[in-house]
């Protein structure tokens, strides 16, 4: 999901700085392990996330279509986070390419939080966490209503909006798992 040129530049910069010439290192396995560590954080549930669920359920008033509008929030967040992560990777790749002299043990790109919103990298992980949780809630809520009351219940008055909401949820889950989480793993390493 990352452009090949950006990935190879980041990989080359990481290996050049951290490893001796000629040593064997599987960068992709390293990034995958980092992604698995971040995923453990992302699947947790905090009281703040449960509070958002309660708020969404309370504003689900007949005629407001609040859950439909709430299903757009994760899409907007994940697109913004993915764009920001791609911009960070591009900026880091440019920083690496601008330096011509490579000295073993000296980082090509200085570790800095300046690339992130408010210079706070955990915000990106929290936004990914929030998005995944809200999508899981949206899909689970749909399935529970379907199981408990049937597909043609009063909860599903506007079936077109329900289909759009579930489709958005699935699309955001795929987008997050295929693009955003790998980008996050690469950026944090």
Rounded (5°) CA angle 158-154-164: 30
Please indicate, yes or no, if residue 95 is contained in any of the structural domains.
yes
In this model, does residue 102 exceed pLDDT 70?
A: no
| Tokens, residue 51 | 């509070």
Do 119 and 29 reside in the same domain of the chain? no
Q: Which has the closest alpha carbon to 10: 136, 107, 115? A: 107
Q: How many domains are there within the chain?
A: 2
Please indicate, yes or no, if residue 174 is contained in any of the structural domains.
yes
In this model, does residue 69 exceed pLDDT 60?
A: yes
Do 52 and 11 reside in the same domain of the chain? no
139 Cβ neighbours under 8 A, 6+ residues apart:
166, 169, 170, 173
Do 86 and 173 reside in the same domain of the chain? yes
Structural domain span for residue 25: 1-36
What is the pLDDT at residue 1? 62
pLDDT, mean over the chain: 76
Please indicate, yes or no, if residue 41 is contained in any of the structural domains.
no
In contact, 188 and 121? CB cutoff 8 Å: yes
Do 21 and 53 reside in the same domain of the chain? no
Distance CA 103, CA 101 (A): 6
Do 23 and 50 reside in the same domain of the chain? no
What is the pLDDT at residue 189? 66
């Amino acid at each position: 999901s990352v452009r090949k040129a950006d990935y190879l530049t980041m990989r080359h910069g990481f290996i050049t700085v951290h490893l001796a010439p000629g040593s064997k290192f599987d960068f992709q396995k390293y990034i995958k392990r980092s992604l698995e560590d971040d995923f453990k954080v992302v699947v947790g549930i905090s009281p703040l996330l449960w509070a958002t669920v309660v708020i969404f359920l309370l504003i689900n008033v007949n005629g407001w279509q609040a859950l439909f509008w709430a299903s757009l929030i994760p899409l907007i967040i994940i697109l913004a986070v993915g764009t920001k992560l791609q911009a960070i990777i591009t900026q880091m790749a440019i920083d690496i390419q601008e330096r011509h002299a490579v000295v073993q043990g000296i980082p090509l790109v200085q570790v800095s939080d300046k690339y992130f919103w408010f210079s706070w990298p955990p915000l990106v992980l929290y936004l990914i966490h929030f998005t995944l949780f809200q999508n899981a809630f949206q899909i689970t809520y749909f399935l529970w209503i379907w199981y408990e009351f049937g597909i043609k219940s009063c909860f599903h008055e506007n079936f077109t909006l329900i289909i759009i909401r579930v489709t958005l949820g699935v699309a955001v889950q795929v987008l997050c798992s295929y693009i955003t989480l790998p980008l996050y793993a690469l950026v944090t390493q």
